[in-house]
């Protein structure tokens, strides 16, 4: 799971971890290729997640649809013959990250319709990330359908191609949100839950491995190639259950 593939602004005070430099991203993709992995988009990975194909793969996802994904990530992905999925906030196309710009104190440019088509024509996938990047569990049923199904319709109109992958903003989801996502015609959806997806994982609750600015190449390798993230997730769940029991 990536967000920005760019150098973090020097005056950025918060969430610098959302940035991975172009050089670091290139080294990470090189390591995947060097160790025999193929980087795939979500749709390209679906046969593996369903058990229809087998082999060493790494699904590459980028959230929100930033211009730097096109400018800096696309050439690297193409160099290694990889594909990737960029999840796009359809109501902010050609604008900026209005959902968190005030908190971050930085406006990050998002791809225009033409740039999204260039990403798609470059062999990459566009997935949906709602219309306005809300906390979906706070939406009523009508709002939920508008955000999830509406984003799909918006993007399909722009691309002239099916959009079958979805990502929950902030990882905010529950059974109701997952059911609307399924009913809207998506094949799968990703969360922000830590971990590596395996055969049998709920396709509408897929975990991911977040890669941050401060991760060195060995740290990337530990997260990508071992059970580290799964163990960290289980450890955190155990700690939370312990804290809840203490409060009770």
Query: Tell me: the pLDDT tens digits for 142-199?
Result: 999 999 999 999 999 999 999 999 999 999 999 999 999 999 999 999 999 999 998 8
Q: Name the phi and psi angles at 60, rounded to 5.
A: -105, 120
Cα 22 to Cα 5, 68, 134, distances in angstroms: 6, 9, 29
User: What radius of gyration do the chain's Cα atoms show?
Assistant: 18
pLDDT (tens digit per residue) in 41-90: 999 999 999 999 999 999 999 999 999 999 999 999 999 999 999 999 99
Structure tokens at 69: 């994904």
Assess contact for 184 and 220: CB atoms under 8 A: no
Number of domains composing the chain: 1
Return the CATH number at 207.
3.20.20.370
- Written as six digits, the tokens of 39 are 């980087």
pLDDT digits (tens, 9 = 90+) for 199-245: 899 999 999 999 999 999 999 999 999 999 988 877 776 555 555 55
Arithmetic mean of pLDDT, 119-131: 98
pLDDT, average across residues 15-31 = 96
Sort 56 into a burial class: Cβ within 10 Å, 0-12 / 13-18 / 19+. Answer: exposed
Q: Which of 163, 21, 7, 11 is nearest to 87 (CA)?
A: 163
Res. 10 pLDDT band, cuts 50 70 90: confident
What's the chain's length in residues?
248
Q: Which helix (H) or strand (E) holds 85?
A: strand 85-88
Q: What pLDDT score does 232 carry?
A: 81
In angstroms, rounded to a whole number, what is the distance separating the alpha carbons of residues 139 and 241?
27
Q: Do 179 and 205 form a contact (C-beta atoms < 8 A)?
A: no
CA distances from 207 to 1, 33, 70, 197, 204 (A): 10, 22, 24, 6, 9
Look at 130 and 248; give whichever has higher pLDDT. Answer: 130
Q: What is the extent of the structural domain holding 139?
A: 4-247
Q: What is the pLDDT of residue 14?
A: 78
Q: What is the pTM (predicted TM-score) of this model? A: 0.94
pLDDT for position 52: 96
């Amino acid at each position: 799971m990536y967000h920005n593939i760019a150098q973090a602004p020097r005056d950025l005070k918060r969430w610098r971890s959302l940035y991975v430099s172009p050089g670091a991203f290139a080294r990470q993709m090189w390591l995947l290729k060097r160790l025999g992995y193929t980087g795939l988009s979500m749709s390209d990975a679906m046969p593996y997640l369903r058990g229809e194909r087998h082999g060493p793969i790494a699904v590459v996802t980028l959230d929100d649809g930033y211009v730097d994904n096109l400018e800096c990530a696309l050439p690297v992905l193409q160099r290694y013959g990889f594909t990737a999925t960029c999840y796009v906030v359809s109501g902010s196309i050609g604008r900026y990250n209005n959902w968190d710009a005030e908190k971050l104190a930085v406006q990050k440019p998002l791809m225009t319709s033409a740039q999204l088509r260039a990403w798609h024509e470059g062999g990459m996938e566009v997935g949906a990330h709602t219309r306005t990047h809300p906390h979906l569990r706070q939406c009523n049923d009508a709002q939920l359908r508008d955000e999830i199904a509406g984003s799909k319709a918006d993007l399909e109109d722009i691309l002239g191609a099916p959009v079958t992958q979805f990502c929950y903003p902030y990882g905010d989801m529950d059974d109701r949100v997952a059911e609307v996502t399924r009913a809207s015609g998506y094949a799968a959806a990703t969360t922000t839950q830590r971990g590596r997806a395996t055969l049998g994982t709920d396709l509408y609750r897929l975990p991911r491995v977040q890669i941050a600015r401060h991760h060195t190449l060995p740290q990337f390798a530990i997260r990508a190639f071992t059970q580290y993230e799964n163990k960290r997730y289980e450890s955190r769940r155990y700690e939370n259950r312990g804290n809840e029991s203490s409060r009770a």
